[in-house]
Structures are given as C-alpha cells and as structure tokens.
A and B are shown apart, each in its own frame.
Chain A
Amino acid sequence: MDTKIFLSILLLSCCHCMVVRAQMSDCCLTVKNKPIPASRVVDYHHQIKGQGCSIDATILVTRHGRKLCVPLNENWVSLVKTQVIQLKTHCQEVNYKGKRCFGVKRQ
C-alpha cells in the first residue's frame, strides 16, 4: 500500500524534464514589415523560432552595424537578400575597397 502511493508519486513527478538554463541570445522580439533600401544593408541572418528566440525573423545588418528586424518571407526581403549576396561577392573581388563596400565585413 505504502509502496504503491510512493511509486505513484514518483511516477507523477517523472513527467517533468528540462531545465531551462539561461540562454542569452540576441533576438528580434518584433518585426516591422516596411521596406529598407538595399543600399543600406550589408549583411543578413535568419532567426529561427525555437532556437533561443520566440519568433521567425530576418535580421538585416546596416552599414553601421545596426541590426533591424524584418519578416522572414516577404518579397522585398528576398530582393534585399539577393542584393546583399551580390554586394558581398563584389566586395570580395575588389578586396573591400571603395565607397560601395563601406561597412561590409570580410568573410
């Protein structure tokens, strides 16, 4: 009888599992769906929901290193991303010299 009560208590307490350790990721908490000129943007990252952050987002890095939060799947975002890839390739070719490559990080 005692053993039964004991075991049922143990069984109940087994349902918990994970310890949320402090994870201090830089996250986008909200996004703004408002186009940003591609000329300002030098890099981008994706933020995937569940990997330390609560929402999906695209992080656009400006020439001065500011990180802006925009939606993940918008046409203008895709366009900006394509231009960023072009810019990065160009700057790699010219060894990051020139006005156009201002703020572009070396790969």
Chain B
Amino acid sequence: MEDFYYEDEDAHFNDSYDYNYEHSICDKEAVRSFGGVFLPIIYALALVVGLAGNALVVVVYTSRLRLRTLTDVCILNLAVSDLLLLFTLPFWAADAVHGWRLGTGMCKFTSFLYSANFSCGMLLLACISVDRYRAVAHNPSGRTGAGARARIRWLLVCLSLWALAIILGIPELIFSTVKTTHHRTSCTAIYPHSMALPAKASLELLEIILRFLLPFLVMVVCYCQVGRALSRAAGVRRERKWRALRVLLAVVAVFLLTQLPYSVVKLWRALDIIYMLVTDCEVSKGLDRALQVTESLALAHACINPLLYAFIGSSFRGHVLKAAKRLGQRLGRHPRHGGEEPAVEIALRARAQTQSQSGSDDPDTSTFTI
C-alpha cells in the first residue's frame, strides 16, 4: 500500500508498479462504447415506431371535423409533443456514437426541445387523467357538448401546458453547452460553479420527485376515482367494466414501468452528485449503464402513448377506418374494396359499443375513449 505510487528512479520508464486503481481515473470507455451501439439501435427503433404511431394520431385527429373532449385535444397535443421529442433522437444517437459536432447553438436547442417535450408529455398525461376523472365524477353528460366557451377553455389549458413545458425547458437552454474532455466533445448541461450546493441539491431532488411522482399521483388518484365510479355504475355489463378498468390499469402500469426505473436511477445519481456516494468505479459504470437503459425505457413511453391513448379508443379506430374509406374513394374506385367496407364497419361499431361506457350510448361520443 505504502509504495503504490513510488518506484525506483532506475525503473523510470517502467509502469508496472502496483497501482491502486481506486485512485486512478474511472475510465468509462466501455460504457461509452456500449452506449455507442445500444443507444442508436434503441433510438432508431423508437423513432420508427413512434413516428408511425404519432403521425397517424396527428393525421386522424386533425382531419377530424371537431375534437369532442379535452382528452381528444390532449391526445393530439401529446402526439405532437412526442413527435418533437422523437425528432431529437437522431441527434442523441449521433452524440452517443461520435460526440457532439453540431455546435453550441444546436446543442442548446436540441436539449431544450428534449426537456420541454419530455415535461409536456408528463403534464398532458396528468391532464388526460384529470379530464377523465372530471367526466365521470362531475358531469358525465355535459362534457361532450363542446360550446365556444369549452373550446376556449381547452385552448387555455393547452396553451398553459405548453407554456409550462417551455418554462421547464429553459434551464436546459441556459445550461447546456458543448463540453470537451479528453478529445471528446459532448452536449451536456453544466451548472455554474457559483450555484450554492444546498440550493442545487434541493432543486434537483425536488424536480426529480415532482417530475415523476406528481404526474403519477395525479394519475393514480384520478383513475382510482374513475375506476370506483365505473364499478358502481349501473346498467353496464361486468365484462365491459372490467375491460375499461383493464385499460386504466394498463395506462398507470405502463407509466410506472417506464418512468419509475428512470426516476430511481436519476434520484440515485442526483444524490451521488450531492453527497458523493459512489467511490467505486465499477458501481459508477453500472450506474451510467443503468441510466442509458432506463432512459431508453422512459423514451419508449413516447411510442406507447398512441397505443394506450388513441388506438385503444373506439372512436379513433372508427376514424381511421373512415379516413381510409375516404382515401380509398378518392384514390380509385376499387369495387372489391367498397364492397367489403360495410361489413368491417358494422363489426367495428359492435366492438365500439361494448367498449363505450360512463353512460354514453353513442360510441362515437363516449366521454372517454378508453
């Protein structure tokens, strides 16, 4: 132990003395090369799947004559936000492979887009759960009547959500910069040195807890109420209720499964930055790998959102079909195609009817398109 740094003066060029690796730098090359392979694959997958799903949602919801509920409006916004988030993925993939080469301006902008839209997605998910809760708890019949006042309120809600998301992205816009270490450039957030540690610590902990915990709690509380109202509702068949409850459960479970691991690793990392918990290189590398994997999982949520919120809804499927029909009519008069359609639509309507609930008889105007 005593002689770990020392050497014979004669052994000037011999580096074979006993190193104490604990006090040499923690080389993360292995983690970087893992990320350089893993992240581009995952990001490419997420981009393809997410782009297809969210683009379909945007096309269908904008071609629709009117959005009937706040949930519809939120789903459309969620798809737009997810698309914006997904558009940053190629940049992060390139960053993981050969560092950041696009300059500070692009680094700030991409980080901002990523952060703001990540926040926006979480806020919109919470908003959807609040709207569904309100639909069941307060005015099951009155919500679908979309007057001019309701539309203005939706617009205000969406604008405030986006404004909030943009505010949440501003720190990234300020602190993100291109950092060069050991011949490698990367785009990361660097806090000013003057920032007081307790302030930084409390801010970091608070934001990590609130980013995940608050939307999650809002969702759990709202969906529990919805579930209770559903199970008490008279005149709805048991299996219909169970199907609706299952969808709510899936929404909460997917949120938990994708966001919890990321939040836990982030929390651990934040604590480590503040209290210097990790002094072992292998543990530190493991933490970095865990962050890469869990972040990819958290991003996967952007691809699953269309499935969970739009595709499951009966009215969305109906609209996809109608849009396809319109397109089919416009493109070419396939007699075979036209002949098949009514049967499909009837089948779909029957399925839609079994899924609609909360007192609404018309599947197309069911208060929440679960």
- Chain A positions within 8 Å of B, measured between CB atoms, are 2-3, 6-7, 9-10, 12-32, 34-37, 39-40, 45, 48-52, 54-55, 59, 62-64, 66-70, 99, 102-103
Contact = CB atoms under 8 A, between A and B. Distances in A.
A18 B161 contact: no
B206 A15 contact: yes
B282 to A, nearest CB: 11
Nearest to B265: A20
B361 to A, nearest CB: 25
B345 interface: no
A50 to B, nearest CB: 5
A40 B210 CA distance: 49
Contact of B7 (A26, A40, A66): A40
Contact of B5 (A14, A25, A68): A68
Contacts of B278: 29, 54
B179 A37 contact: no
A52 B127 CA distance: 34
9 A-B pairs closest in CB distance: A16-B207, A64-B15, A16-B211, A67-B25, A32-B23, A16-B210, A22-B291, A24-B28, A23-B188
B273 A54 contact: yes
27 contacts: A9-B214, A10-B164, A13-B215, A14-B164, A14-B167, A15-B210, A16-B168, A17-B168, A17-B170, A18-B189, A18-B207, A19-B115, A24-B35, A25-B179, A26-B29, A28-B25, A29-B280, A29-B281, A48-B193, A49-B193, A50-B191, A50-B273, A63-B15, A67-B25, A68-B25, A69-B23, A69-B24
B173 to A, nearest CB: 11
B239 interface: no
Interface string B1-25: 0001111010011010001101111
B223 interface: no
Given A16-B119, A20-B291, A25-B181, A50 B193 contact: yes
Contacts of A48: 193
Contacts of A27: 25-26, 28, 284
A72 to B, nearest CB: 13
Interface string B146-178: 000000010001001100100111111001000
Contacts of B23: 28, 30-32, 68-70
Contacts of A59: 25
Q: Most chain-B Cβ atoms within 10 A of its Cβ — which of A22, A34, A51, A70? A: A22
A24 B288 contact: yes
Nearest to B291: A22
Interface in B99-125: 111, 114-115, 118-119, 122-123
Secondary structure type dominating chain B contacts: helix
Contact of A2 (B4, B126, B134): B134
B276 interface: yes
B31 interface: yes
A12 to B, nearest CB: 6
B35 A26 contact: no
Given A27-B284, A29-B278, A68-B24, A10 B134 contact: no
Given A6-B157, A12-B214, A24-B288, A39 B24 contact: no
A22 B295 contact: yes
Nearest to A59: B25
A98 B193 CA distance: 41
A29 B279 contact: yes
Interface in B274-317: 276, 278-281, 284, 288, 291-292, 295
A10 to B, nearest CB: 6
A52 B188 CA distance: 8
B247 interface: no
B236 interface: no
Contacts of B119: 16-17
Given A52-B179, A59-B25, A23 B172 contact: no
B15 A39 contact: no
